[in-house]
Structure formats: structure tokens, C-alpha cells
């Protein structure tokens, strides 16, 4: 796999490695995020040993363990296998090492070993507390099950608690980093690729083999033998159980449910059970919980919104899931039938790229969104009322809201993110201005920011220049590309 980004992670690992007092480190991250590649890159030029404990049965893991040990001792792997019967034999081998130079020992996919062998955490704890303290070894453990790793490392009742105080959570790449996989694509297609691949290196590398994002979707997700169609279900099965119940929750969100009440109803769960499951999905990074700009910390549950924040999972559950019949069509026909859902998906995911742009180019105190119910205004400028005299309301939102520092003051950016095929002009700005007025709490120093895939019409360009007092910032895809290119250098 091509190694891109991770400069800060490599810098931190080098610091830990060069500090003798630091003996252990845990690297946690979802499957495919690049943990093994990061470790391999870090180990280049250093004395190092890596054990891959991935497997679904004990014998296959022990076979791989014997091969790894044989590469170090120079023995025949079959002979080594005869004396390797348990995880404790790996611990015994590690305890026998007496390296003169600081040596990296990496144990990959530890959660698999915990599932397959008895008392793995206790055995590893005894090694960390005992023999490791007298060895010139820097021990790294990692695993693709985020929930399992965090549970083993941070539960006060478990053996490994406080044995790995240095914990690195490996997140997906930023847009600026991931764009480097797609140098031959237009900026619009880079946005589309990031929308689906969401900064996961393996997916970006797979997409980079194709001339366009449409071609990548057709080859990787559609047809009778789609390479990545079932990947989302596989990712879910690694982290949660029962998988099917969590699948119902993800399906409900993917189909538009956003509040706890509605998600629970759609998934046929009690609200308390659904809340617990949403907490797990947040922990592993698939779902995010947010409240609109201006709400207090202890906001009512009815104000809280949930959405799938992982782009790959979002693409599966909002575009592909429920459309299995399309796999029997020709790829181009399936893609045409999905076009509306895909374009809606791109528009929603573009907001994440815009948010990264703002947080990277501004000093942000907070970045999020605003939504709420607002009165419908009639042609006469008055609030519409129904037959009973009640004010008629509609749902409204502001795609991006950020509190940014302006010297000693705070300004509030109200932003609109348009990934449609038409240029933005004064009607789009007036709509943003109207919604921003509804979102205001009162007394804010308001600024405006508009993002547009197709750019801006002359009426808006002229207005923004004529009205500097309104502080309207217009951001095109060229601006995003220039930022991403500069940030990646």
C-alpha cells in the first residue's frame, strides 16, 4: 500500500521510541485505516519484530506465530511450530530476547488472540510488569476492533489497565492528505472520492486505480460480484454483537432517521436500548451525535441529531442498502438508477470537506451545524397560520456554523455548502442570510461563507465586493484544491 500522510503519528512514535522510560504503546483504529502500514513504515531502519495474530482459529494463528519466530531464530518453522502451543509460548519467546539495540516488537490484531486463547491479557500484563522492564524493547500492540481494544486497555477491572498509558487513536486521513491519492482527478472527483472513501487509505488506493469515481463505483460496488459491497457489514461484525440489531440502527439512520425516538421506532428497539447502541457506534467512529448551534450542553434528547459520520458506511447504508436487486443489472444501468441517491450523498458529504477547510484555515472555538423549526413566511411578509390560528412551521438548517477568533473577539461563520451543478448567486445568499437570521442567538458578530462546486455568478461576486461590511467569503473548489495542496506539502 502507498504510504501517505501520518507525519504527526510518525513523529510521535519516534519520540516514544527514543524515550527509554516509555516501553509500551497501543495503536487503535478501525479496520483498513492503516495501522499495520504505519507500524511497518515506523520500523524501517530499526531493529524490529512483528507478530500478526489475525485469524479465526487458534491453529492458523499459531502457525503464523511459528513462522514469525522462525524468521528471527533462523530455524525451520515446522520445528518451531512443534513447541508453540499457546499465546504463552509467544510471551516466553519475547522474554528470552536480549537485544543490545532498542528493538520494536509489534503485536498486531491482539483482540483476535484474546478471543482464541485463554488468559491473554493476564499473560501480557505479567510480561509488561516483569521481564519487559529489563529489556531494551519498545512494545506496540494494535487491533482493528476499536471497542475491544479500548475495553481491554481502559477498563479498570481488566489486566491491561494502565499498562499501555500511551494510546494512539489512528483516525482516517484528512481531505488534504487523502487528495494525494488522486492527483489525476478533478477537484470535484476528489471530493466525490473522499465522500465515499472517507480518508481510509485502502479504499482511496483502490479508487485511484480508476479514471473516474463513477468507474470506481461501478467496478467496486456494482455487478454480480462487487468487491466492496459487503465490506460495511464485515466492518460492523468486527465491532458489535448482535450484528443484525446494529444493522437495523444503521439502516434507520441511513434512510433518514436522525432523532433517538425515530431511530428506535424504525429499528424496533426501546429508546434506552437504542441509546446504548448509538453510544457504541459513536465509540467506534461510525456515528456522531450533535446538537445545533446555540443549544446548552445538557440539551434535550429531542434536539439531538445522529448521523453516520464514516463516509464508507454512509454510502452503503444511504445509497446501496436495500438496492440489492440492482446488482443483477448491468453496471451502467444500476449506476443510472442510483444517480439521484448518489448525488444527494455527495452533497451531504461535501459539508465534511467544507468543515475541514474552515477548521484548517480559521482559529475555531467550535464548528458544527444549526437546524430547527421556523415559521413559514408568506408573500406578504407575515407568518402563515393554519385554520386553528397556529403558526405554520418548516424545517430549516445552516450547513456549517463555526465560532472563530477575530483577535480578542468571537465571530460566528454561517456557511452554505453547495455541490450542485449550478452556480451560486444572490438567491442562494439571501436564503443563507435568512436562515442565519433564524439561527442567531442575538448579539453575534455574523460572517458568511459560501462553498460552491460550480463557482459563483457575477451578481453575488459584485455584491460581496460592494458590501464588505457583510463579510461574505466565497470559496470555490479551486480554493479548496489550493488549500489541500498547500496543507499536503
Indicate which CATH number applies to the domain containing 97.
Answer: 3.40.50.300
282 and 397 both lie in a single domain: no
Segment (H or E) for 310 = none
Burial of 129 (0-12, 13-18, 19+ CB in 10 A): exposed
User: Would 265 be classed as within a structural domain?
Assistant: yes
367 and 446 both lie in a single domain: yes
**All 3 cell numbers of residue 21?**
522510560
Q: Mark which of 124, 139, 169 sits at the end of a domain.
A: 169
427 and 375 both lie in a single domain: yes
- Cell 467544507, residue located: 354
User: Would 465 be classed as within a structural domain?
Assistant: yes
15 and 137 both lie in a single domain: yes
State whether residue 137 is helix, strand or coil: strand
User: Would 220 be classed as within a structural domain?
Assistant: yes
Q: Mark which of 316, 343, 370 sits at the end of a domain.
A: 343
**All 3 cell numbers of residue 135?**
529489556
User: Would 1 be classed as within a structural domain?
Assistant: no
Indicate which CATH number applies to the domain containing 450.
Answer: 3.40.1350
Q: Mark which of 104, 137, 169 sits at the end of a domain.
A: 169
Peptide bond into 242 cis (omega under 30): yes
C-alpha to C-alpha distance for 26 and 31, rounded to whole angstroms: 15
User: Would 351 be classed as within a structural domain?
Assistant: no
**All 3 cell numbers of residue 64?**
503464523
User: Would 77 be classed as within a structural domain?
Assistant: yes
302 and 250 both lie in a single domain: yes
Give the pLDDT mean for 401-411.
Answer: 95
In the structure, what pLDDT confidence band is assigned to residue 3 with cuts at 50, 70 and 90? Answer: confident
CA atoms within 13 A on the CB side of 36: 15
Q: What range does the domain containing 322 cover?
A: 176-343
**All 3 cell numbers of residue 409?**
473577539
Indicate which CATH number applies to the domain containing 261.
Answer: 1.10.10.10
User: Would 469 be classed as within a structural domain?
Assistant: yes
Q: What's the DSSP call for residue 469?
A: G
328 and 363 both lie in a single domain: no
Tally Cβ neighbours within 10 Å of residue 276: 12
**All 3 cell numbers of residue 488?**
499536503
pLDDT, tens digit (0-9, with 9 covering 90-100), for 383-392: 888 888 888 8
The pLDDT, as a whole number, for residue 489 is 54
pLDDT at 488 over 70: no
CA dihedral 427, 433, 435, 441 (to 10 degrees): 180
pTM: 0.91
188 and 333 both lie in a single domain: yes
pLDDT at 119 over 60: yes
User: What are φ and ψ of residue 119, in 5° steps?
Assistant: 60, 30
192 and 212 both lie in a single domain: yes
162 and 31 both lie in a single domain: yes
State whether residue 51 is helix, strand or coil: strand
Is residue 26 within 8 A of residue 167, CB to CB? The reply is yes
First to last CA, the chain: 20
Segment (H or E) for 121 = helix 120-129
C-alpha to C-alpha distance for 384 and 378, rounded to whole angstroms: 6
User: Would 48 be classed as within a structural domain?
Assistant: yes
14 and 156 both lie in a single domain: yes
CA dihedral 334, 335, 338, 344 (to 10 degrees): 170
161 and 205 both lie in a single domain: no
The tally of domains found in the chain comes to 3
Is residue 312 within 8 A of residue 198, CB to CB? The reply is yes
User: What are φ and ψ of residue 423, in 5° steps?
Assistant: -70, 155
260 and 289 both lie in a single domain: yes
Show the CA angle centred on residue 83, arms to residues 80 and 86, nearest 5°. Answer: 110
pLDDT, tens digit (0-9, with 9 covering 90-100), for 265-318: 999 999 999 999 999 999 999 999 999 998 855 567 668 999 999 999 999 999
Amino acid at each position: 500500500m502507498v504510504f501517505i500522510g501520518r507525519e504527526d503519528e510518525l513523529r510521535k512514535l519516534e519520540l516514544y521510541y527514543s524515550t527509554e522510560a516509555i516501553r509500551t504503546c497501543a495503536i487503535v483504529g478501525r479496520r483498513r485505516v492503516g495501522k499495520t502500514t504505519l507500524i511497518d513504515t515506523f520500523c524501517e531502519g530499526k531493529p524490529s519484530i512483528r507478530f500478526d495474530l489475525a485469524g479465526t482459529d487458534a491453529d492458523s494463528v499459531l502457525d503464523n506465530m511459528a513462522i514469525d519466530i522462525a524468521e528471527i531464530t533462523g530455524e525451520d518453522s515446522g520445528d518451531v511450530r512443534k513447541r508453540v502451543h499457546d499465546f504463552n509460548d509467544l510471551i516466553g519467546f519475547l522474554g528470552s530476547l536480549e537485544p543490545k539495540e532498542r528493538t520494536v516488537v509489534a503485536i498486531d490484531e491482539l483482540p483476535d488472540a484474546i478471543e482464541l486463547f485463554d488468559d491473554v491479557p493476564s499473560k501480557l500484563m505479567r510480561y509488561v510488569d516483569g521481564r519487559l522492564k529489563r529489556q531494551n524493547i519498545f512494545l506496540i500492540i494494535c487491533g482493528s476492533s476499536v471497542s475491544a481494544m479500548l475495553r481491554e486497555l481502559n477498563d479498570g477491572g481488566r489486566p491491561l489497565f494502565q499498562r499501555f498509558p500511551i494510546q494512539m487513536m489512528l483516525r482516517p486521513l484528512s481531505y488534504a492528505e487523502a487528495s494525494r491519492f488522486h492527483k489525476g482527478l478533478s477537484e470535484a472527483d476528489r471530493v466525490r472520492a473522499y465522500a465515499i472513501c472517507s480518508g481510509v487509505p485502502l479504499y482511496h488506493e483502490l479508487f485511484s486505480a480508476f479514471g473516474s469515481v463513477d468507474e470506481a463505483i461501478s467496478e467496486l460496488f456494482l455487478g454480480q460480484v462487487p468487491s466492496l459491497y459487503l465490506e460495511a457489514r464485515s466492518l460492523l461484525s468486527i465491532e458489535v454483537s448482535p450484528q443484525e440489531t446494529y444493522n437495523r440502527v444503521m439502516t434507520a439512520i441511513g434512510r433518514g432517521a436522525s432523532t433517538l425516538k425515530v431511530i428506535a421506532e424504525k429499528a424496533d428497539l426501546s429508546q434506552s436500548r437504542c441509546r446504548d447502541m448509538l453510544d457504541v457506534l459513536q465509540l467506534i467512529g461510525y456515528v456522531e451525535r450533535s446538537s445545533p448551534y446555540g443549544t446548552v450542553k445538557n440539551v434535550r434528547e429531542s434536539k439531538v441529531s445522529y448521523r453516520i459520520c464514516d463516509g464508507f458506511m454512509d454510502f452503503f447504508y444511504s445509497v446501496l442498502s436495500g438496492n440489492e436487486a440492482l446488482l443483477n443489472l448491468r453496471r451502467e444501468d444500476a449506476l443510472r438508477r442510483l444517480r439521484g441517491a448518489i448525488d444527494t450523498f455527495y452533497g451531504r458529504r461535501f459539508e465534511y470537506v467544507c468543515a475541514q477547510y474552515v477548521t484548517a484555515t480559521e482559529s475555531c472555538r467550535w464548528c458544527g451545524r444549526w437546524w430547527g423549526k421556523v415559521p413559514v413566511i408568506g408573500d406578504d411578509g407575515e407568518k402563515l397560520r393554519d385554520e386553528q390560528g397556529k403558526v405554520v412551521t418548516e424545517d430549516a438548517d445552516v450547513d456549517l456554523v463555526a465560532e472563530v477568533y477575530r483577535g480578542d473577539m468571537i465571530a460566528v461563520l454561517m456557511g452554505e455548502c453547495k455541490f450542485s451543478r449550478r452556480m451560486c448567486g444572490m438567491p442562494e445568499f439571501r436564503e443563507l442570510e435568512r436562515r442565519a437570521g433564524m439561527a442567531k442567538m442575538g448579539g453575534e458578530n455574523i460572517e458568511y461563507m459560501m462553498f460552491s462546486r460550480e463557482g459563483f455568478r457575477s451578481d453575488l461576486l459584485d455584491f460581496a465586493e460592494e458590501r464588505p461590511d457583510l463579510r461574505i467569503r466565497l470559496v470555490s473548489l479551486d480554493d479548496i484544491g489550493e488549500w489541500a495542496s498547500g496543507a499536503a506539502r
